[in-house]
Amino acid sequence: MGRAFKWFLGAGLAASLAFLGSGMARAAVTKIALLCGFENQPQSGVQNLDPISVLSHPLTAPNDYAWNTGGYASLTPFKKYATQGRTCAEVRFTTPLDFLSPGDKNHPLPSTWEAGMTLSTDSATKLPVTDWSPYAELEVDVYNPGEEQYQPFLKVTDAYSHVTETAGYIKPKSKSVVSIPMSLLSQARLDLTNIQALTFYLNTARDTTDPVLYIDNVRLVPPKPGH
């Protein structure tokens, strides 16, 4: 899979405290930490339940598709473009047009529309690793089957609500490894020992049809030997 994906450091909220992990020795890690592999299937018809609904449907809780979406994206198991295991997630991102009634065709559309998915300590599918300090990169496998180029955003939040956001481009009909070095999060003063959420989203305000991407193998990658 090519790495035809270049990330740019986005705006990070100013931190009120110095990065807690700086200057501290990292624990050595040699294995990839899988955050979500989309292998654990939801029961038919009950994926994408919000956390409150999951409490009343306990059998639906342990699956890889219950990311927080707010109704602005849907995740469905799909086999063809899996990069590890047997399945990936087909993610359909909504547009403002999806929420207009027939009588609202002339209604002005918003300039931004964040349609995305969040894996966190509060989502039904839990973020399984919150200490990212021993790792070198966050990586996500993405395939764009469409004819349009998309600009995804990846947002990371720590326990102190410090946020940084990155953006890049995924070319049409191509596979990419979305990669974010931990050094970028450190520069934005996030506490790498206490990460609470990651969000993958598109701004679909100008899209006339729902974009679809295939996402798999959300992982933390350890440093290369000698680094």
Report the CATH number at residue 156. Answer: 2.60.120.260
CB 191 within 8 A of CB 160: yes
Is 23 among the domain residues? no
The residue type of 81 is Y
Is 28 among the domain residues? no
Higher pLDDT, 138 or 179: 138
Model-level pTM? 0.79
Is 160 among the domain residues? yes
Is 50 among the domain residues? yes
Percent of the chain whose pLDDT exceeds 70? 77
- For 23-60, what is each residue's pLDDT tens digit? 444 557 889 999 999 999 887 655 454 444 544 444 44
CB 44 within 8 A of CB 178: no
Confidence label for 8 from pLDDT (cuts 50, 70 and 90)? very low
Domain that holds residue 204: 8-16+33-100+107-221
Q: What is the total count of domains within the chain?
A: 1
Is 83 among the domain residues? yes
